[in-house]
Structures are given as C-alpha cells and as structure tokens.
C-alpha cells in the first residue's frame, strides 16, 4: 500500500509540473504573437515626395539660410518666416542635384509671389528668384545645357532659360512663353497635388 501511495504522489507531482510547463510555453507563444501583431512604427517622411525630403540636406540648407540670407534680420522673423521647402533635381545632367528652396512667410513673400533660391550641390547660389508663384515646371528640354524652367506670372507662362551662369531672377518682366502650357514630361516642384515637399525650419 505504501508503494502505491508513493507512486500516486509522484504521478500527481509530475502531472502538475507538465501542465505548468505547457502553460509557460503557451504564454511565451502568446507573447510572441502579441509582439508580432503590434503595428510597425510609421516613418514620418513617407508622405513626402522623394525630391522634397532629406533631413541631412535640410540641416545644411538651414545653416546656409541663417548664415547667408537672413543673418542680420533673423531675430525679427516669426515662425512662418523661418520655414521653407526644397526640391532637388539635376538641371544640367552632371550627375549632381541642384536645389530649389522655396522660402515662406511675409518676410520672403508679397503680393507678386515668394523668393525661391536655386543652389548648386555645394549650396552655392546660382539664382535668387523673386515674385515666384509655384508650381515650378522643370522641363526635360535644355538650352545652354540646362533645363528650361516654366513659371506662371501675371496669368501667363514665362520661360526661364539658363545663360551666363544663372537664370532670369524676375519672371514678371519676361515675355510670354511661346506656348500656353508645360509639356507632359516636366517635373513639377512645389505643388502638393503632385507630391508634397516637407516643411523645414531654420
């Protein structure tokens, strides 16, 4: 009888340990499933056009604006005045992207439009455009080995062509372009309908 009792106790103890082990395994599996089912962290840059988002480049642009454009007046700028978007594109097929920088706020914008900077890959100025009203159309067609730009000014498209190291800075004084619309192959910068550029601050 004593042997039977001992065997019965051993059986009960072993059964309990086995059930506990099964519960631990099930809990681990459940934890694994819970971890895998958690939503992935969303990249905050996913909603922006590729040409208009680059946090490392924006840091360089911000420094350029502060050091070269608004150095004397920076303390007077409000939050909107200290914001901008950019768009990168290789205008002259040299394998290096130029950078259009659209400056925002009343400091840079008036009734005729806003200031847009064109910088080379090293962020040296090529052109400071005034009274520009985006969108800006960047054509595949080139003159003087640089892309033709189109911008609407006073209800008409104006053609900006590169010459002597720069583009015309004020489209409002240019004659009407010899056509009424951009081509279907033009890149479109600073138009949220075709791709939103991220807004950065300096």
pLDDT digits (tens, 9 = 90+) for 80-113: 999 999 999 999 999 999 999 999 999 999 999 9
* Whether 14 and 74 share a structural domain: no
**pLDDT score of 41:** 55
**pLDDT score of 10:** 44
Is residue 43 domain-resident? no
Is residue 44 domain-resident? no
* Whether 114 and 171 share a structural domain: yes
* Whether 137 and 190 share a structural domain: yes
**pLDDT score of 28:** 47
Residue 182: domain span: 50-201
Tally the domains of the chain: 2
* Whether 66 and 15 share a structural domain: no
Collect the ranges in the chain with pLDDT lower than 50. 1, 4, 6-14, 16-19, 21-37
Write out the two tokens for 98: 């130029």
* Whether 26 and 74 share a structural domain: no
* Whether 112 and 23 share a structural domain: no
* Whether 29 and 54 share a structural domain: no
**pLDDT score of 45:** 78
Q: Taking the CA of residue 181 as centre, how many other CA atoms within 13 Å lie in the half-sphere pointing to its CB?
A: 3
* Whether 75 and 141 share a structural domain: yes
Is residue 45 domain-resident? no
**pLDDT score of 43:** 64
* Contact yes or no for 125/106 (Cβ under 8 A): no
* Contact yes or no for 127/147 (Cβ under 8 A): no
H/E stretch holding 9: helix 2-37
**pLDDT score of 37:** 46
**pLDDT score of 129:** 98
* Whether 183 and 121 share a structural domain: yes
Is residue 63 domain-resident? yes
């Amino acid at each position: 009888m004593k042997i039977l009792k001992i065997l019965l106790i051993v059986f009960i103890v072993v059964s309990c340990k086995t059930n506990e082990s099964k519960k631990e395994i099930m809990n681990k599996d459940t934890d694994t499933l819970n971890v895998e089912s958690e939503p992935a962290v969303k990249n905050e840059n996913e909603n922006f056009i590729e040409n208009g988002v680059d946090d490392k480049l924006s840091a360089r642009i911000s420094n350029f604006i502060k050091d070269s454009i608004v150095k004397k007046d920076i303390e007077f700028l409000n939050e909107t005045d200290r914001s901008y978007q950019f768009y990168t594109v290789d205008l002259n097929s040299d394998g290096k992207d130029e950078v259009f920088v659209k400056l925002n706020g009343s400091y840079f914008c008036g009734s005729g439009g806003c200031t847009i900077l064109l910088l080379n890959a090293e962020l040296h100025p090529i052109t400071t455009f005034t009274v520009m009203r985006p969108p800006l159309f960047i054509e595949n067609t080139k003159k003087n080995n640089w892309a033709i730009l189109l911008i609407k000014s006073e209800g008409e498209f104006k053609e900006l062509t590169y010459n002597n190291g720069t583009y015309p800075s004020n489209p409002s004084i240019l004659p009407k372009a010899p056509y009424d619309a951009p081509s279907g192959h033009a890149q479109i910068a600073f138009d949220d309908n075709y791709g939103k550029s991220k807004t950065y601050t300096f």
